[in-house]
Amino acid sequence: MKKYDFDEPIERRGTDCFKWDALPSMYGRGDLLPMWVADMDFRSPDFVMDALMRRCQHPVLGYTMPSEDYWNAVKGWMSKHYGINVTQEQLHFIPGIVAGIAYALLCLTQPGDKVLVTTPVYPPFLNLPKGSERTLVCSPLKIEEGRFAIDFDDFERKVDGCKLFIMSNPHNPAGTVWGADVLRHIAEICQRKGVVVISDEIHADLTLPPHRHVSYSTVSEAAAQNSITFLAPSKTFNIAGLGSSVCYIADDRLRKRFFGWLDTLGVAGGNIFAFAGAEAAYAQGEEWLTQMLDYLKENVRTLDGFLKERLPKVKAVLPEASYLAWLDFSAYGIAHKELADRLVNEAKVALNDGTTFGGKAYENCFRINLGCPRAMLIDGLERIEGILN
């Protein structure tokens, strides 16, 4: 059995890498430790690289299409990891999940229609409805026993009159795993109110054992009938730059409507590397993923231990899936602008500002990305400690 090395530092600067090379434009300086954008500073798996290089041996990069082997790899992964046995016609290639959500918004809603999200949430969930002149409705999550929870009284009130609910399952930030009961409750309410649910499951494969991912469409007949599910190997295998995702719809009518729209837009053709990379990842990725999740779990434990021992005033929501933790600095009583400035200009770390996940309510919070070699994580935490203690 091959042992993968996730401690290896990889120089990513100078590769047009958003996480490192966009620091000057996003934070005003390039000398920061980037713990923001949700990709990992680990080597992408060797079997994915080999597949891409093999394809490059052929001298023509003309128009392509998804092969049967690609679809079999996707279907095999969905069956094994999510317990969904799908037919190929229930799947559609998508060049990225943010794009997929945008296509769904444009297909299923009109300007002015109400779209629900639960905050704090991945910023494009807020920006897509706003940018397409839909009416954004936010239902704030509660924190219960250190984890995010849906406030169902608020949710039920707010979802009234909405056309769509965009859900991060697991939730970004903080990788909250939604259990089957929670998802069933959402499905029951949304079906009763005629709301379509978009279940963005991009972080599903990164669910950290003993937590278990539950794919939304599997929890009830209502969930299967009213949902669009997005999945991708991009976070799982650190290949987000390949732009390779998949959409799954169980319901015939909804599928015909949305897939017809996708075909009108001409996104089915995909691209050569998206198919080759995803096929290799799904067909050969089990061992790599198991080892990587072990490493991430240890990074979560490292963060938890560091906070308890050295920064006990920071309140954290730790990930149950993925590598994104939510840190609340309220107890330090530092004004938002000053804290943001000190993190960048004194600690020299780039975190995601909480306000971008849902506005002023989250101005004492920042999201930190733990998907990096442990030495880098500890360096980042020590830098943060240095400006607080």
Ligand X SMILES: Cc1ncc(COP(=O)(O)O)c(C=O)c1O
Report if residue 300 touches ligand X, rule: CB under 6 A: no
Cα–Cα distance for residue pair 198/163, rounded to 1 Å = 11
Which residue lies nearer to ligand X by CB, 122 or 306? Answer: 122
> Of 2-10, 232-240, 257-265, 348-356, which part binds ligand X (CB under 6 A)?
232-240
Report if residue 245 touches ligand X, rule: CB under 6 A: yes
Report if residue 352 touches ligand X, rule: CB under 6 A: no
Q: Are 170 and 177 in contact (CB under 8 A)?
A: yes
> Of 56-64, 90-98, 287-295, 296-304, which part binds ligand X (CB under 6 A)?
90-98
Report if residue 178 touches ligand X, rule: CB under 6 A: no
Binding mask 9-48 for ligand X (x = CB under 6 A): -----------------------------x----------
**Residue 191 CB partners (closer than 8 Å, separation 6+):** 222, 225, 226
Per-residue buried b or exposed e for 185-224, using 16+ beta carbons within 10 Å of the residue's own CB: bbbebbbebebbbbbbbbbbbbbbeeeebbbbbbbbebbb
Which residue lies nearer to ligand X by CB, 97 or 365? Answer: 97
Report if residue 232 touches ligand X, rule: CB under 6 A: yes
Which residue lies nearer to ligand X by CB, 44 or 168? Answer: 168
| Distance in Å, CB of 96 to ligand X, minimum | 3
Report if residue 246 touches ligand X, rule: CB under 6 A: no
Residue 165, both tokens: 């609910």
| Distance in Å, CB of 240 to ligand X, minimum | 5
**Residue 254 CB partners (closer than 8 Å, separation 6+):** 196, 225, 226, 227, 228
Among 200, 205, 320, 353, indicate the residue that binds ligand X (CB under 6 A): 200
Report if residue 172 touches ligand X, rule: CB under 6 A: yes
Report if residue 166 touches ligand X, rule: CB under 6 A: no
| Distance in Å, CB of 326 to ligand X, minimum | 13
| Distance in Å, CB of 65 to ligand X, minimum | 20
Report if residue 168 touches ligand X, rule: CB under 6 A: yes
309-338 residues in contact with ligand X (CB under 6 A) are none
Which residue lies nearer to ligand X by CB, 168 or 238? Answer: 168
Among 240, 242, 314, 344, indicate the residue that binds ligand X (CB under 6 A): 240
Among 86, 91, 97, 195, indicate the residue that binds ligand X (CB under 6 A): 97
The footprint of ligand X (CB under 6 A) covers 38, 96-98, 122, 168, 172, 200, 202, 232, 234, 240, 245
